Amino acid sequence: MKTSWMKRQQYLGYLFIGPNMLGVLLFFIVPAAYSFYLMFTDYKFMNPDTNFIGMANIRRMLQDEVFYTAIGNTLLFLLSVPLSIGLAFVVAVVLNRSVFLKKTLRALYFMPYITSGVAVAFVWMLLFHPNNGPINGILRSLGVANPPGWLSTMDTSMYAIDIIWIWFMLGYNMIIYLAALQEVSGELLEAAKIDGARTWQTVRTILWPLVSPTTFLLLITGLIMSIKQFGIIQAITQGGPGNSTTVLSLFIYQNAFRYYEMGYASAISWALFLIILLFTAAQWMGQKRWVHY
């Protein structure tokens, strides 16, 4: 049957995968192994004298104040993930059944996601301009006497980045929810209507539990995707003011390519890997529990 022909010309399997495997070896596996080695050295770019220093980089990381600042900033940044997912759920539920122009609206909400990147980041930089920016202009006209400094002050900068990131991720999360909602049977919702369930009740007791696997998936993939992101932040604030927007991934980049502390940067990058490993493990374990139907 199926297996008999699938096992024919087995050697061709290697030919089909070979070219790709070579690239994965060169650009993923070898660099990963190399980085693992660098973690235990004091490698600096252009410095010929590299020594094996054991756990010194890891000890240094655990004593580095900026590392903990970066962890804190990363947590603040990751706050945007559940917020964006929550908003996307609301948008998706409304778009799914009860509006005209569904496709146009879907495209408009999705647009930020496809145009991601630094160009958009620079637009937000001006929108958030503390003195004259349009956002604070609107806030002032609404009667806010001292609108926030957004990207320019230490205690608001991370939240300003969060707003940009929520805006950016919303369309992606919405698309995934729309796909999940389409699989919810209309009959179920009709039955709920006949029972006299209110819209809010239907959403809360039927839709939300039904899409919980999707919510969970979005949460984990969103966390992983966001924790790796540093481009937008590097483009707008370079981690400042102070270290107030230095997230972990940016901290690694700066150590490696601003200070050329490449051994140290490698050690921190493996801490980032550990966090991603934890998220992935949570995904594997959670997948079984979170399916509510």
Partner 1 sequence: MTRALVQKIVLTLLMLFFSIVMIVPFLWMISTSFKTPAEVFHYPIRWIPADFHWEHHLKIWTGPNSFVHYYLNSLKVALLGTAGAVLLSALAAYGFARIEFKGRNALFLIYLSMMMVPPQVLFVPKFIMFDWAGIYNTHWALILPGMFTIFGVFMMRQFFLSVPYEISEAAFLDGAGHFRIFSRIILPMAKPSLATLAIIDFSWHWNDYENALVFLIDQDLFTVPLGLQNFILENNVDYNGMMAAATAGIIPMILVFLIGQKYIIEGVASSAVKG
Binding mask 58-77 toward partner 1 (x if CB under 8 A, else -) reads --------------------
Choice between 68 and 122, CB closer to partner 1: 122
Choice between 110 and 208, CB closer to partner 1: 110
Instruction: Quote the tokens at residue 53.
Output: 């220093």
Binding positions for partner 1, 98-157, rule CB under 8 A: 98-101, 105-112, 114-120, 122-124, 126-127, 129, 131-134, 137, 140-141
Choice between 52 and 155, CB closer to partner 1: 52
Choice between 32 and 191, CB closer to partner 1: 32
Amino acid at 272: L
Start-end of H helices in the chain: 2-6, 11-24, 30-38, 56-63, 65-78, 80-97, 102-114, 118-127, 134-141, 157-182, 186-194, 199-202, 208-210, 212-228, 231-236, 248-257, 262-289
C-alpha–C-alpha distance, residues 130 and 127, integer Å: 9
**Looking at 52, 68, 259, 273, which residue binds partner 1 (CB under 8 A)?**
273
Task: Tell whether residue 7 is a contact of partner 1 (CB under 8 A).
Answer: yes
How far, CA to CA in Å, does 157 sit from each of 77, 214, 236?
A: 10, 31, 10
Binding segment for partner 1 among 88-96, 150-158, 190-198, 202-210 (CB under 8 A)? 88-96
CB count within 10 Å of CB 128 equals 23
**What own/partner pairs with CB < 8 Å and gap ≥ 24 does 47-53 have?**
50/263, 53/263
C-alpha–C-alpha distance, residues 115 and 80, integer Å: 19
C-alpha–C-alpha distance, residues 249 and 199, integer Å: 42
Task: Tell whether residue 14 is a contact of partner 1 (CB under 8 A).
Answer: yes
Specify the DSSP element, H or E, that contains 43. Answer: none
Binding positions for partner 1, 173-192, rule CB under 8 A: 175-176, 178-180
Binding segment for partner 1 among 57-65, 154-162, 200-208, 270-278 (CB under 8 A)? 270-278
Binding positions for partner 1, 237-266, rule CB under 8 A: 249, 252-253, 256-257, 262, 265-266
Binding positions for partner 1, 17-46, rule CB under 8 A: 17, 19-21, 23-24, 27-32, 34-35, 38, 45
